[in-house]
C-alpha cells in the first residue's frame, strides 16, 4: 500500500476504533456530548468547528458521531428502501412507568444501576420496547427522532441473514453448497472452498484482518473499496465491495470456529442477489418494507458500483426496526400473514455451534452464545437472540417475555464488549419483569 493510502487508512483506523489516544482529554459523557447542545451542522454554512465532513472522517469521529449516526445518509451514496403504498400498521401504545426504575448489576460490576441510568451510560440515541406488539417504552435523545434514518451498522447483517435463511427455507438456496455454485468468481479467493453455511454462520477461514489498530487491516481496504471513507489520491485498490471480496485470501480452515468478519456478509449479500436475481434493496422492500406496514422509508449505503453494503449499511427508522423484530418474534408472521418462512425463523432461533463460538474467546460478555444466520443467539432460559452493530445498535428479542427491543446508540467505543455490560443485564431484567420472575 502506498504511503498516502497508509496514512488515510491509519486515520480511518483511529476514527473507527473509538480507541482513546494517549494524552486525549477524558471522553465526554452522554450529557456533555449531547449533539443538539453541541450544535453540529447548525448555521448556513456551519462554522468550521461545527462542521462534520466525510473528507476528514468527521462522521466517524466522536463526539461528532452523536450527530452523524442519526444523519448518516448525508455522508454516503445510498439507495432508498421504500415502504410503498401499504397503510402504516400502527404499533399500539401501552406505556409502562416502572421501567426506568428497574435495577440491575452491570456485567463485571458490583454497584446496581437503573434502566434510566443505563441509557446515558450507553450513549443511547433512541430505544423502543415492544411487549406483545405494543410499545411499552420509547425514548429519543439528542438529535434522534422517530423519523431519523439512523445507521444500524451490523444490525444490517441480520436482515441479510434473514433473507438468506428465507431463500434456504424456500428451497432456492442450498446452505451446504459451495459458495462457488452461486458466485463462481469467488473460486480464486479465500471463499473458494467454503460452503454457504460457513459464510452464513461466519465460520470461514478467510484472511480478513478486522484489527482496528492496524492501518493495513482488511477492514480499511474494505472501506476504501466501498468508498465509505476518503480515498487517498493515489488509490489504486479494488472498486466496489465485490471486487474487494475477490482479493481476500485464506487463513486457517473453514468450519472450525466462529470469527466475526464483515466480509462474510458482503459475500452472503452477493450470493443472495445471485440466487434471487434481485438486488438487496429490492428484496428488503418486497419482503419487509412493503409487507410490515413500515412507517418510514429506509436508506441503504451503496458503493460506487451500486452494490449495497450488506455488512453494515442499513439506515432504518427505529420503530421500523422494532416492527421487523416483532415479525421475527412471531415466527415470521405479521398481521396473521406468514411474511418470512417459519422454518427460517426456527433455523435462526435454534442457534449455531456453541463450541465454534466459544473457541473464539473474544466475547466475554456473551458466555454460552452462538451465531446463526447472521444473528447472535443467547441460549438463555428466555431463548433471547439479537442483531448487533458497532457503537451500540441492537435488536434484542426475548421470546419468553414476548419482548422486542430496538436501540440506536452512538457510544464512543465501536465494540459492543464495552456496551454489553450495561445493556444485556438491563434487557434481561426487563424480560424477567415482564414474565413476573424475580431478579437474580
- The only residue of 65, 70, 76, 203 in contact with its own copies, by rule CB under 8 A: 76
Binding track over 307-326 against its own copies, x by CB under 8 A: x-------------------
- The only residue of 4, 31, 74, 359 in contact with its own copies, by rule CB under 8 A: 74
- The only residue of 44, 111, 336, 361 in contact with its own copies, by rule CB under 8 A: 44
Burial of 5 (0-12, 13-18, 19+ CB in 10 A): buried
Q: Does residue number 181 form part of the binding site for its own copies (CB under 8 A)?
A: no
Which cell numbers hold the place of 127? Answer: 430505544
Burial of 306 (0-12, 13-18, 19+ CB in 10 A): exposed
Q: Does residue number 306 form part of the binding site for its own copies (CB under 8 A)?
A: yes
Q: Does residue number 41 form part of the binding site for its own copies (CB under 8 A)?
A: yes
Of 77 and 250, which has the nearer Cβ to its own copies? 77
Which cell numbers hold the place of 279? Answer: 438486488
Please report where in the chains the cell 473499496 appears, as a residue.
225
Q: Considering CB under 8 A, how many residues would be counted as binding its own copies?
A: 39
Binding track over 240-259 against its own copies, x by CB under 8 A: x-x-----------------
Residue 309 near residue 303 (C-beta atoms within 8 A): yes
Reported as half-sphere exposure (CB side, CA atoms, 13 A), residue 28 has a value of 15
Which residues 206-245 are close enough to bind its own copies by CB under 8 A?
A: 233, 240, 242
| Rama region for 23: left / alpha / beta (φ>0; ψ in -120 to 50; rest) | left
Of 51 and 116, which has the nearer Cβ to its own copies? 51
Q: Does residue number 174 form part of the binding site for its own copies (CB under 8 A)?
A: no
Q: How far is the CB of 195 from its own copies (least distance, A)?
A: 20
Q: Does residue number 75 form part of the binding site for its own copies (CB under 8 A)?
A: yes
Q: How far is the CB of 320 from its own copies (least distance, A)?
A: 13
Nearest to 144 by CA among 43, 54, 36: 36
Active site residues: 154
DSSP-derived letter for residue 57 is: T
Of 147 and 337, which has the nearer Cβ to its own copies? 147
- Angle at alpha carbon of residue 392, lines to 49 and 424, rounded to 5°: 150
- The only residue of 78, 156, 373, 410 in contact with its own copies, by rule CB under 8 A: 78
Radius of gyration of the chain (CA): 21
Which residues 283-302 are close enough to bind its own copies by CB under 8 A?
A: 295-297, 299, 302
DSSP-derived letter for residue 86 is: P
Amino acid at each position: 500500500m502506498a504511503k498516502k493510502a497508509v496514512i488515510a487508512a491509519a486515520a480511518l483506523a483511529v476514527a473507527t476504533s473509538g480507541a482513546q489516544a494517549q494524552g486525549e482529554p477524558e471522553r465526554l459523557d452522554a450529557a456533555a456530548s449531547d449533539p443538539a447542545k453541541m450544535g453540529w451542522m447548525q448555521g448556513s454554512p456551519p462554522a468550521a468547528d461545527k462542521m462534520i465532513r466525510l473528507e476528514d472522517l468527521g462522521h466517524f469521529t466522536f463526539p461528532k458521531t452523536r450527530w452523524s449516526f442519526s444523519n448518516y445518509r448525508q455522508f454516503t451514496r445510498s439507495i432508498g428502501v421504500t415502504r410503498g403504498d401499504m397503510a402504516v400498521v400502527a404499533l399500539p401504545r401501552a406505556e409502562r412507568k416502572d421501567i426506568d426504575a428497574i435495577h440491575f448489576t452491570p456485567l463485571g460490576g458490583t454497584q446496581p444501576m437503573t434502566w434510566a441510568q443505563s441509557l446515558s451510560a450507553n450513549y443511547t440515541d433512541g430505544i423502543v420496547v415492544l411487549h406483545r406488539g405494543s410499545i411499552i417504552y420509547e425514548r429519543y435523545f439528542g438529535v434522534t427522532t422517530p423519523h431519523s434514518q439512523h445507521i444500524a451498522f451490523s444490525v444490517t447483517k441480520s436482515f441479510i441473514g434473514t433473507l438468506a435463511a428465507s431463500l434456504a427455507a424456500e428451497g432456492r438456496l442450498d446452505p451446504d453448497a459451495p459458495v462457488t455454485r452461486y458466485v463462481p468468481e469467488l473460486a480464486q479467493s479465500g471463499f473458494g472452498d467454503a460452503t454457504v453455511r460457513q459464510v452464513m454462520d461466519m465460520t470461514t477461514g478467510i484472511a480478513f484482518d478486522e484489527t482496528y489498530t492496524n492501518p493495513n487491516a482488511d477492514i480499511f481496504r474494505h472501506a476504501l473499496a466501498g468508498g465509505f471513507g476518503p480515498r487517498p489520491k493515489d488509490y489504486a485498490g479494488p472498486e466496489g465491495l465485490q471486487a474487494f471480496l475477490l482479493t481476500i485470501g485464506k487463513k486457517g480452515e473453514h468450519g472450525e470456529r466462529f470469527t466475526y468478519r464483515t466480509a462474510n456478509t458482503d459475500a452472503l449479500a452477493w450470493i443472495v442477489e445471485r440466487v434471487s436475481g434481485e438486488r438487496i434493496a429490492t428484496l428488503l422492500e418486497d419482503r419487509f418494507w412493503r409487507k410490515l406496514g413500515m412507517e418510514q422509508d429506509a436508506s441503504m449505503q451503496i458503493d460506487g458500483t451500486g452494490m449495497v453494503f450488506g455488512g453494515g449499511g442499513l439506515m432504518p427508522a427505529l420503530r421500523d426496526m422494532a416492527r421487523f423484530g416483532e415479525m421475527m418474534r412471531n415466527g415470521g408472521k405479521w398481521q396473521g400473514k406468514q411474511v418470512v418462512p417459519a422454518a427460517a425463523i426456527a433455523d435462526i432461533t435454534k442457534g449455531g455451534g456453541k463450541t465454534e463460538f466459544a473457541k473464539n474467546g473474544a466475547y466475554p460478555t456473551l458466555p454460552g452464545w452462538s451465531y446463526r444466520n447472521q444473528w447472535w443467539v443467547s441460549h438463555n432460559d428466555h431463548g433471547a437472540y439479537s442483531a448487533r452493530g458497532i457503537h451500540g445498535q441492537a435488536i434484542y428479542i426475548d421470546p419468553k417475555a414476548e419482548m422486542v427491543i430496538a436501540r440506536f446508540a452512538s457510544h464512543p467505543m465501536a465494540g459492543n464488549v464495552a456496551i454489553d455490560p450495561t445493556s444485556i443485564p438491563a434487557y434481561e431484567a426487563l424480560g424477567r419483569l415482564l414474565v413476573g420472575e424475580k431478579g437474580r
